[in-house]
C-alpha cells in the first residue's frame, strides 16, 4: 500500500505542482512503485489469480478448492503444488503431471501420474500450472526498470497502432474540411431551430476520432457565429459542444482513455463503442436539459476577448467535401468493429466460413482503424490544390501529436501494471465485505476514478490509474456481468468535478470568454451531472442485461 501511495504522490505532485509532463510523471511514478514493491508481492500478483487450493489428497487424486478464474485446466501438462509463499518458499515445490481434470457435483479433481508426498501441508498448499509458476518466478527476479520497460512495450503493442491511426483520421478530417462538413450537414438536416442539438450530435460524432479540445476549437467559431447572428443563447451553443464531445472522450474508443481501459479488461473495441454510446446517450440527454436550464438562468454574453481568441474563421460550405465522403472515415471503422462483435456474439457457429474469416480480418481493431485512416487520407487528397508533399506534412503532424499521446498512455499502462504487481487486488478484495458483488465493484470503480480525477485533473490519467487498481479486484471477486460495464463505470468516473487543475477547464474558460465562476457553475456542474447519470445508466444495464 505504501508503494501505491508513493507512486500516486509522485504523479499528482509532478502534474500539479512541478508542471511535469504527464509522461514523465507517470514513468517516474511507475518506477517508484516498482522499486518499492517486494519480489514476493510481484510473484503473488501473478499466482493469486491463476491458482487453486488443495482441499484433499487421495492417492493420485487432488481435490481442488478456491479455484481462481485464471487457472488453466489443461490435461496432459505439468502443474506445481507449493505452499502460500510461492516462489520465495524454502520448501521445494512439487512438480506433478496431470493426466486429466474431472468435475462432478461442483467438485473439481486433478488426476496425477504419481502420488503426492504424504507429509505435504494440504491446508496451506496451492495448485498452479508450471508455466504460470515460471512466469511468476521470472517476473519476481526482474529489476524494477526492466518491469517498467516491459510494461511500456506491452501497452504499446495493444494500443500504439490504434492511436496512430486515430490521429491520422482526426488530422485529415480537420485539414480537409470534412469535420466542418459533418457539422454543417447535421445542422442543415435538423434545421436552424435545432442548431444546439445539431452541435451536440456533431461534437459527439467528431470526438470519437478527434480529441475533445480539438473538437472544441473547431466548433467554437460556429457557436460564436450563431450567437452573433441571433444576439442570444451563447452559453447554450458553447455547452452544446461540451455535452456531445466530452462523454465520447471518456466512453467511446479510439480516444486513449476508453481504448486503454477496454484493452486492459479484454473488452472488444466494438463492444466498448456500442456500450459507450448506449450509456453515454443518457448522460447526453441529462446534459442537454441542464444546458437549456442554465441558458435560461444565466445570460452570458459573447465577449470581445472570446471573439479575438479564435484566429481562424470557418470555411465556406462550398469549399468542403460532401457529407457522405466526410463521414466515411468515422462510420466505416465503427461498422466493421460492430459487425465483428455481432458476428462473435449473436451469429450461430454454422455461419459461412468465408464470411467469418472476412469479418474477423476487417473487424480487427487495427485493420478497421487503418481503413478509416486511408479513407481520411482520401478526403484530404481530394482537396483542391492538395499535393503529395502537403499530404505527407499532414500525416507527419498527426503522427507527431499521436506519438505524445502514445507515450503518455504507455507510461500510464506501466504505472497501472506496477500497481497490479503490488498485489493490491488481493488486499482490497479480502478487505471488502463478502456481500459486495459486481454492483459494489462498479460503485467502487466509479468512486476511485472520480477521486483520482479530482486530485490531479486529467480524465485520461484518472482512467489509466484506476484500471490498475480495479482489475485485480475484479479478478479476485469475479464479475456477474460483462466486463464492458466495469470499463464504462471507470469512464463515467472520469467526468465529475473538473476544476482549475484540469486543462479542459481552462480551454473552455479562456476560449469561450467565461470567468472562472461562470465556468464552475456551468461546465463543472454539467460534466458532473453527465457522469453521474451515465453511471446510473451503466448500473441499470448491468443489472437488467448482464450479458454474461
Q: What is the pLDDT of residues 182-191, one digit of tens each?
A: 777 777 777 7
Q: Which range has the worst mean pLDDT, 224-233, 348-357, 444-453, 512-521? A: 348-357
- Give the separation between CA 32 and CA 43, rounded to whole angstroms: 18
Q: Give the pLDDT score at 221.
A: 66
Calpha distance 63→55 (Å, rounded) = 5
pLDDT in tens, 455-505: 766 787 788 778 877 877 777 667 888 999 999 999 999 999 887 666 677
Residue 431 in this model has a pLDDT that exceeds 70? no
Q: Is the pLDDT of residue 205 over 50?
A: yes
Burial of 297 (0-12, 13-18, 19+ CB in 10 A): exposed
Tens digits of per-residue pLDDT, 131-154?
888 888 888 888 989 999 998 888
SS (H, E, C) 459-489: HHHHHHHHHHHHHHHHHHHCCCCCCHHHHHH
SS3 92: coil
Q: How many CB atoms are located within 10 Å of the residue 287 CB?
A: 28
State the pLDDT at residue 304: 52
State the average pLDDT over residues 430-437: 57
Q: Is the pLDDT of residue 249 over 90?
A: no
Q: Measured between alpha carbons, how far is 197 from 186 in angstroms, rounded to an integer?
A: 9
Helix (H/G/I), strand (E/B), else coil: 17: coil
- CA atoms of 361 and 471, how far apart (whole Å): 28
The Cα 64–Cα 269 span in angstroms is 36
What's the rounded mean pLDDT across residues 236-252? Answer: 86
The confidence score (pLDDT) of residue 290 equals 94
CA distance 531 to 536: 9
pTM: 0.66
Query: Mind listing the pLDDT tens digit for each residue in 491-532?
Result: 999 999 887 666 677 777 777 778 878 888 999 999 999 999
Give the pLDDT confidence of 74-97 residue by residue, as tens digits. 776 666 666 555 445 555 667 777
Host H or E run for residue 175: helix 144-176
C-beta of residue 81 within 8 angstroms of C-beta of residue 54 = yes
> How far, in Å, are 71, 155, 405, 412, 443 from residue 162 at the CA level?
31, 11, 11, 16, 29
Q: Which residues pair with 62 in a beta bridge?
A: 57, 110
CB 98 within 8 Å of CB 109: no
What is the predicted pLDDT for the residue at 91? 56
Domain ranges within the chain, ordered by starting residue: 2-43+405-544, 51-140, 160-400
pLDDT tens per residue, range 95-123: 777 888 888 777 888 888 766 666 655 55
Q: What is the pLDDT of residue 306?
A: 46
Q: Which class does domain 51-140 fall in?
A: mainly beta
Amino acid at each position: 500500500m505504501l508503494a501505491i501511495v508513493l507512486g500516486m504522490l509522485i504523479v499528482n505532485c509532478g502534474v500539479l505542482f512541478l508542471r511535469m509532463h504527464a509522461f514523465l510523471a507517470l514513468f517516474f511514478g511507475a518506477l517508484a512503485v516498482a522499486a518499492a514493491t517486494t519480489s514476493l508481492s510481484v510473484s503473488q500478483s501473478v499466482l493469486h489469480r491463476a491458482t487453486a487450493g488443495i482441499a484433499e489428497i487421495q492417492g493420485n487424486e487432488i481435490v481442488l478448492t478456491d479455484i481462481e478464474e485464471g487457472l488453466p485446466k489443461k490435461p496432459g501438462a505439468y502443474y506445481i503444488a507449493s505452499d502460500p509463499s510461492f516462489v520465495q518458499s524454502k520448501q521445494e515445490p512439487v512438480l506433478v503431471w496431470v493426466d486429466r481434470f474431472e468435475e462432478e457435483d461442483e467438485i473439481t479433481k486433478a488426476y496425477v501420474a504419481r502420488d503426492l508426498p504424504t507429509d505435504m501441508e494440504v491446508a496451506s498448499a496451492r495448485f498452479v500450472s508450471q508455466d504460470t509458476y515460471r512466469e511468476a518466478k521470472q517476473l519476481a527476479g526482474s529489476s524494477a526498470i526492466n518491469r517498467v520497460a516491459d510494461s511500456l512495450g506491452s501497452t504499446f503493442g495493444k494500443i500504439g497502432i490504434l492511436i496512430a491511426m486515430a490521429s491520422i483520421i482526426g488530422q485529415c478530417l480537420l485539414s480537409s474540411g470534412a469535420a466542418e462538413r459533418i457539422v454543417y450537414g447535421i445542422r442543415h438536416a435538423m434545421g436552424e431551430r435545432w442548431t444546439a442539438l445539431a452541435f451536440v450530435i456533431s461534437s459527439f460524432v467528431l470526438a470519437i476520432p478527434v480529441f475533445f479540445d480539438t473538437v472544441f476549437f473547431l466548433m467554437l467559431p460556429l457557436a460564436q457565429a450563431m450567437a452573433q447572428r441571433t444576439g442570444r443563447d451563447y452559453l447554450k451553443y458553447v455547452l452544446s459542444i461540451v455535452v456531445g464531445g466530452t462523454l465520447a472522450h471518456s466512453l467511446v474508443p479510439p480516444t486513449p482513455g476508453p481504448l486503454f481501459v477496454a484493452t486492459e479488461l479484454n473488452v472488444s473495441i466494438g463492444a466498448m463503442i456500442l456500450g459507450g454510446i448506449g450509456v453515454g446517450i443518457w448522460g447526453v440527454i441529462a446534459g442537454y436539459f441542464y444546458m437549456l436550464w442554465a441558458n435560461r438562468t444565466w445570460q452570458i454574453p459573447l465577449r470581445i476577448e472570446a471573439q479575438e481568441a479564435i484566429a481562424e474563421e470557418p470555411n465556406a460550405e462550398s469549399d468542403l467535401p460532401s457529407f457522405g465522403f466526410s463521414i466515411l472515415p468515422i462510420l466505416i471503422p465503427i461498422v466493421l468493429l460492430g459487425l465483428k462483435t455481432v458476428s462473435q456474439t449473436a451469429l450461430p457457429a454454422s455461419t459461412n466460413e468465408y464470411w467469418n474469416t472476412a469479418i474477423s480480418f476487417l473487424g480487427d481493431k487495427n485493420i478497421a482503424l487503418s481503413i478509416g485512416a486511408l479513407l481520411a487520407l482520401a478526403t484530404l487528397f481530394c482537396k483542391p490544390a492538395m499535393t503529395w508533399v502537403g499530404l505527407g506534412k499532414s500525416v507527419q503532424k498527426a503522427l507527431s501529436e499521436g506519438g505524445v499521446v502514445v507515450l503518455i498512455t504507455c507510461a500510464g499502462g506501466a504505472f497501472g501494471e506496477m500497481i497490479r504487481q503490488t498485489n493490491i487486488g488481493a488486499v482490497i478484495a479480502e478487505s471488502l465485505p463478502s456481500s459486495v458483488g459486481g454492483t459494489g465493484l462498479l460503485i467502487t470503480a466509479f468512486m476511485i476514478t472520480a477521486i483520482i480525477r479530482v486530485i490531479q485533473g486529467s480524465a485520461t490519467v484518472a482512467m489509466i490509474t484506476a484500471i490498475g487498481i480495479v482489475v485485480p479486484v475484479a479478478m479476485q471477486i469475479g464479475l456477474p456481468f460483462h466486463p464492458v460495464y466495469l470499463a464504462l463505470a471507470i469512464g463515467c468516473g472520469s467526468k465529475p468535478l473538473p476544476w482549475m487543475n484540469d486543462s479542459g477547464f481552462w480551454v473552455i474558460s479562456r476560449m469561450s470568454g467565461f470567468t472562472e465562476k461562470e465556468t464552475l457553475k456551468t461546465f463543472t456542474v454539467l460534466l458532473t451531472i453527465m457522469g453521474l447519470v451515465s453511471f446510473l445508466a451503466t448500473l441499470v444495464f448491468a443489472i437488467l442485461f448482464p450479458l454474461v
